[in-house]
Amino acid sequence: MQEDTRMQVIVVTGMSGSGKSVVMDVLEDLGYYCIDNLPPQLFGKFVDICRESENHLQKLAIAADLRSGEMFADVYRVLSELQRQPGTEVKILYIEAEDEIIIKRYKETRRKHPLDERFGGSLHDAIAFEREQMLRVKGIADYYIETSYFSAAQLKEQIREIFLDNTSDSLSIKVTSFGFKYGVSTESDLVFDVRCLPNPYYIEELRHHTGCEACVQDYVMSFEQSQLLMKKIQDLLDFLIPLYIQEGKSRLVIAFGCTGGKHRSITFTERMGDYLTSKGMHVIKQHRDIGKDRP
């Protein structure tokens, strides 16, 4: 009976301008009752009200950030108390983006940052202050998404993959590729640099293909060092993943990086994703930079 009455609460927080409104829209579509900009001091009362409502709401999503002003300073204590509340499963989703990306988004939408007046219209100062204030909450987040390189559609896809049919005792593994020339994948828990391997870019007939295709994968994996590296990473993950599950980790992000994010990193992402899937893991594969600089 306790399973039936267990309430799922997702607290969406992070940097202003990083995409929280997009996240809340998706969670609403997934059946969560959503409320935005709720002062942290009201989290517990809101959960109690929803639990006692005639509709008996069991899936809640609360967006909270510095818009609540001085009241947000108490968010760490409130979240800790909420996580200890019997019959309540609380997950914290933290999203952020690079400073310049956030500034660009505010300029494009012509909206004011919540701290605009406090810092005399200086976005740089407002963002720096907000990032510092959010560090403690970021440290206890169950999920972390860096949205700098995401379109709204890609962010929506990520949220659906994380929370659709999500269970508290499972580990969701995201395996992603990226190009170092576009910046390191900052959302990742484990990053593997495969630039040490022969590069298909310098093979004319392979240059305009990607690691999603057999011709590139066959080339990359034809070298002994590639096969050995793959085996060593597989052995490492075979050791680490049970430890993460034992610790209660909900999501693991594994990233493979090469120069442009189109050949070697994609090959390893595809092969490793398939390997982990064959081991019975819930795996999401993503190629962050596959579409960049295409002719």
Domain boundaries, the chain: 2-163, 172-287
Q: Would the pLDDT of 241 be above 80?
A: yes
Order across the sheet with 172-179: list the strands.
Answer: 190-193, 251-258, 172-179, 282-287
- Decide: 289 and 264 in contact? Cβ < 8 Å: no
* Identity of residue 76: Y
Element at 82 (helix H, strand E)? helix 75-83
Q: pTM of the full predicted structure?
A: 0.62
Residue 294, pLDDT score: 56
The percentage of residues in the chain with a pLDDT greater than 70, rounded to a whole number, is: 94
Lowest-confidence region among 7-11, 113-117, 201-205 = 113-117
Q: Please report the pLDDT score of residue 290 as a whole number.
A: 92
Cα–Cα separations (whole angstroms), residue 221 to 68, 154, 246, 257, 263: 53, 29, 33, 16, 11
Please give the pLDDT value at position 112: 86
Q: How many CB atoms lie within 10 A of CB 77?
A: 11
* Residue 167's pLDDT band (cuts 50, 70, 90): very low
DSSP β-bridge partners for residue 173: 252, 283
Closest among 149, 201, 144 to 174, alpha carbons compared: 144
Second CATH level (architecture) for the domain 2-163: 3-Layer(aba) Sandwich (3.40)
**74 token code pair:** 């108490």
How far is the C-alpha of 273 from the C-alpha of 282, rounded, in Å?
A: 9
Q: What letter would DSSP give residue 19?
A: S
